[in-house]
Structure 1
Amino acid sequence: MKMSSFNGFKEVTEKLDAIDFNPYKKIGKEWFLVTAGDESGWNTMTASWGFAGVMWGKNTFTTVIRPQRYTKEFIDKAEYFTISFFKEGYKKALSFCGSHSGRDCDKAKETGLTPVFVSENGVEVTAFAEADMVLVCKKAYVQEMKPECFVDTENDEKWYSDKDYHYQYIGEIVKAFVKE
Structure 2
Amino acid sequence: MEKIEPKDINENVIRLIGDEWMLVTAGDREKFNMMTASWGSMGFLWNKPVVMVFVRPQRYTFEFTEKRDTFTLSFFDERYRRALNVCGSVSGRDTDKVKESGLTPYFTEAGNPAFEEASLVLECRKLYADFLKEEAFTERKIADAQYGQKDFHKMYVAEIINAWVRK
Q: Same fold (TM over 0.5)?
A: yes
Distance 2:7 2:128 in 1: 22
| Residue in 1 that maps onto 2:38 | 48
CA contact (8 A) 2:7 2:49 kept: no
Q: 1:23-50 deviations in whole A, cap 9, x for unaligned?
A: 1110000000000011100000000000
- Report how far residue 19 of structure 1 moved: 2.0
Distance 1:101 1:147 in 2: 26
* Structure 2 stretches lacking a partner, 5+ long: none
SS where residue 176 of structure 1 aligns?
strand
* Structure 1 stretches lacking a partner, 5+ long: 1-8
Distance 2:151 2:118 in 1: 30
- Report how far residue 20 of structure 1 moved: 1.1
Within-5 A mapping of 1:1-180: 9-12=1-4, 15-120=5-110, 124-180=111-167
Q: 1:57-99 deviations in whole A, cap 9, x for unaligned?
A: 1000110000100000001001110000001111111011011
Q: 1:90-145 deviations in whole A, cap 9, x for unaligned?
A: 1111011011100001101001101110023xxx1100000000000011111000
Give me the identity figure in percent.
46
**CA RMSD, Structure 1 to Structure 2 (Å):** 0.8
TM-score, with length taken from structure 1: 0.91
TM-score, with length taken from structure 2: 0.98
- Report how far residue 17 of structure 1 moved: 2.4
Distance 2:42 2:56 in 1: 19
CA contact (8 A) 2:72 2:113 kept: yes
CA contact (8 A) 2:27 2:71 kept: yes
Query: Between Structure 1 and Structure 2, how many residues are aligned?
Result: 167
Distance 1:77 1:17 in 2: 28
| Residue in 2 that maps onto 1:5 | none
Q: Quick one: which amino acid aligns to residue 83 of structure 1?
A: L
Distance 1:38 1:177 in 2: 19
Q: Quick one: which amino acid aligns to residue 178 of structure 1?
A: V
Q: Quick one: which amino acid aligns to residue 28 of structure 2?
A: D
